[in-house]
Each structure stands twice: as structure tokens, then as C-alpha cells.
Amino acid sequence: MHIPDGFLDLWIAVVCAALAGGTLVVAARRADGELTDTTAPVLGIVAAGLFAAQMLNWPIPGGTSAHFVGGAFAAILLGPHLGALCVATVVTIQALVFGDGGLVVLGANVLNMAVIEVYVGYGLYRLLAGHNEFVAAFVAGWLGITAGAVAAALQLGASSAFAYELVTTVSIMGVGHLLLGLIEGGITAVVYRYVADARPDLFPTATTTEVAA
């Protein structure tokens, strides 16, 4: 889902950068109480852990494999604002160190993976967590990544530099990620269950009973 330079029109890249930058500024302000001079390293270290975790391949039927993206999981674990900052850091490192995704379109990649995926994933988790947390984590991972892919498809479809029509990009990327997202949802749910069993106190939504236990 990393868009390289040359795929998006300049104006779309600028609009996406403004939206992503604005959202991250708001996220940093909202997380102000949690994000101090001494807590910032925790976020950096979790971002490094997420970066490494993204590189792991998971077995899927047919002998192939898929990998974890973790935007929704970061939001569930850290809360949406810190989760967005964490994933934005990962996406930026991927561009500035490994050259994954472009520099002019960095804002668009951050918007899709660190803003839309994270906030949509978190919103769905909060909506469903009251009924079943495992299912909520699954849906957050599944539809969070699909929402990010649809946003990328909209940007690509609206760009004159990329000749495919909006309908084509949205159907290919949307349907593709709706299917691939099932794996992301599965991984998110499995990891969520393990972490929630081991450290329920870590989740911002944890009840006092869980924390005391």
C-alpha cells in the first residue's frame, strides 16, 4: 500500500500532506498528557517493535504467506492518537531508510496507513468491543486496512498521472484488501487475545477489575 513518487498528482500529494500533518498535530496535542519528554521514547520503541513485527510472514492456506500491518492493533493498544503517531513514525522510517514509498507522497502514505487505518480501526473496535472484544479486534484490523486501501485507491483514481479510472482503482484495491484484510483481521485478533490475556492493564479500555487482576 506504499505509494511511490510519480503515481499521484502534485496537488493531491499536497492536500494529503496537509490533512495528514494537521491530524498528527491534533493527535500530538490530544495526547499531550500522555506524550511528554520522557514518554516519547516508549512510543519510539513500540514503533520499532511494530516495524519489526510488520516484517513477519504468517502462514496462510496454500503454502503462501501474508504480513501484519498493525495500524488497528497500535490504535487498540496505545489509543488512537498515540497509535497514529506511532504508525506515522514507522511509515516515515520506511520511506527515509528503506525507500518504501515516495518522499513527495509521504503525506498520502501517512494519511492512508497512520490516520485513516488507525482511526477507522479504533472507531470500529470501540463500537464493537462492548459485545465481543475478540470480534471487535478482528473487524478493526480487517476494515481498518480496507479503509486505508480505499483511501489510496481514491487518491490514485483522482490523479491524472495514474490513468486508471476511479471505479477501477477502488474496485481492485477495495475488493483486494477486503479479502487480504481478513488475514490482517485474523492476526490482529489472535495477537490481541494473547496480549489482552497477558497484560489486560495495557489497553486504554481496560476496566479497573482487569487492571487490579
Which residues are at the interface with other proteins (CB under 8 A)? 4-10, 13, 28, 35, 37-53, 55-59, 61, 65, 67-68, 77, 85, 89-90, 92-93, 96-99, 102-104, 161-164, 186-187, 190-191, 193-195, 198-199, 202
- Cα dihedral sign for 182, 187, 191, 193? positive
Residue with cell 521514547: 41
CB 100 within 8 A of CB 94: yes
CB of 194 to other proteins, least distance (A): 3
Closer Cβ to other proteins, 197 or 208, answer by number: 197
CB of 10 to other proteins, least distance (A): 5
CB of 208 to other proteins, least distance (A): 20
Closer Cβ to other proteins, 102 or 148, answer by number: 102
CB 71 within 8 A of CB 118: yes
Q: Return d(Cα 34, Cα 161) in angstroms, integer.
A: 41
Residue with cell 514507522: 90
**Which three three-digit cell numbers place residue 7?**
503515481
Closer Cβ to other proteins, 62 or 130, answer by number: 62
